[in-house]
Amino acid sequence: MTNNNNIRKGFVFKTYEAPFQSPFDKLFEIFKELITHTSGDFDEAIDWLRELDKEYKLTTAEYTVDDFIEDLKKKGYIKEEIDPNGNGGIAITAKTERAIRQQALDHIFGNIKRSGQGNHKSKSPGIGDEHTGDFRNYQFGDALDKVSMTESLKNAQINHGIGEFRLSEDDLVVEETLHKSQMSTVLMIDISHSMILYGEDRITPAKKVAMALAELIITRYPKDTLDIIVFGNDAWQIEIKDLPYLKVGPYHTNTVAGLQLAMDLLRRKRNTNKQIFMITDGKPSCLRLPDGQYYKDSAGLNPYITNKCYDMAQQARKLHIPITTFMIAQDPYLMQFVREFTHANQGKAFYTGLKGLGEMIFEDYETNRKKRIRG
pLDDT band at 120 (very low <50, low <70, confident <90, very high): very low
For residues 327 and 360, is the Cβ–Cβ distance under 8 A? no
For 159-219, the DSSP string reads HHTTTT----GGG-EEEEEE----EEEEEEEE-SGGGG-TT---HHHHHHHHHHHHHHHHH
* Residue % of the chain over a pLDDT of 90: 52
Top CATH class, 183-371: alpha beta
Q: How far apart are CA 116 and CA 122, in angstroms?
A: 17
Question: Quick check: 335 and 327 in contact, CB under 8 A?
Answer: yes
CA distance 319 to 323: 11
* Partners of residue 276 on adjacent β-strands: 186, 323
Query: According to the model, what pLDDT value does residue 177 have?
Result: 58
pLDDT band at 130 (very low <50, low <70, confident <90, very high): very low
* Cα distances (Å, whole numbers) of residue 342 to 19, 248, 313, 317: 46, 26, 7, 10
* Nearest partner of 193 among 96, 257, 280, judged by Cα: 280
For residues 347 and 82, give the distance between their C-alpha atoms in angstroms, rounded to a whole number.
Answer: 47
pLDDT of residue 3: 58
Q: With 70 as the cut, is the pLDDT of residue 134 above it?
A: no
Helices 65-74, 23-37: axis angle to 10 degrees equals: 80
Q: What is the SS3 assignment for 276?
A: strand
What are residue 189's phi and psi, to 5 degrees? -120, 125
Tens-digit pLDDT profile for residues 224-235? 999 999 999 999
Let me know the angle formed at the C-alpha of 308 by 293 and 243, rounded to the nearest 5 degrees.
75
Rounded CA-CA distance 20/114 in Å is: 24
The whole-number average pLDDT for the span 194-199 is 80
CB 253 within 8 A of CB 278: no
pLDDT at residue 129, rounded to an integer: 41
Q: Look at residue 113 in the predicted model and tell me its pLDDT.
A: 43
Bridge partners of 189, per DSSP, are 230, 279
Beta strand spans in 93-182 (E):
125-126, 130-137, 173-178
Q: Mean pLDDT of all residues in the chain? A: 84
What is the β-pairing status of strands 348-351 and 323-327?
Answer: parallel
Give the pTM. Answer: 0.75
Please state the φ and ψ torsions of residue 279, each to the nearest 5 degrees: -105, 120
Do the Cβ atoms of 24 and 59 come closer than 8 Å?
no
Q: What is the pLDDT of residues 4-41, one digit of tens each?
A: 556 666 667 677 676 888 999 999 999 999 999 999 99
Question: Would you say 114 and 222 are in contact if contact means Cβ atoms under 8 Å apart?
Answer: no
DSSP H helical segments within the chain, as ranges?
23-37, 42-56, 65-74, 94-108, 149-160, 203-220, 255-267, 303-318, 332-345, 357-368
Instruction: Give the tens place of pLDDT for each residue, 66-87.
Output: 999 999 999 999 999 987 787 8
CA-to-CA distance for 16 and 232, rounded, in angstroms? 47
Arithmetic mean of pLDDT, 50-61: 96
For the chain, the structural domain boundaries read: 23-92, 130-178, 183-371
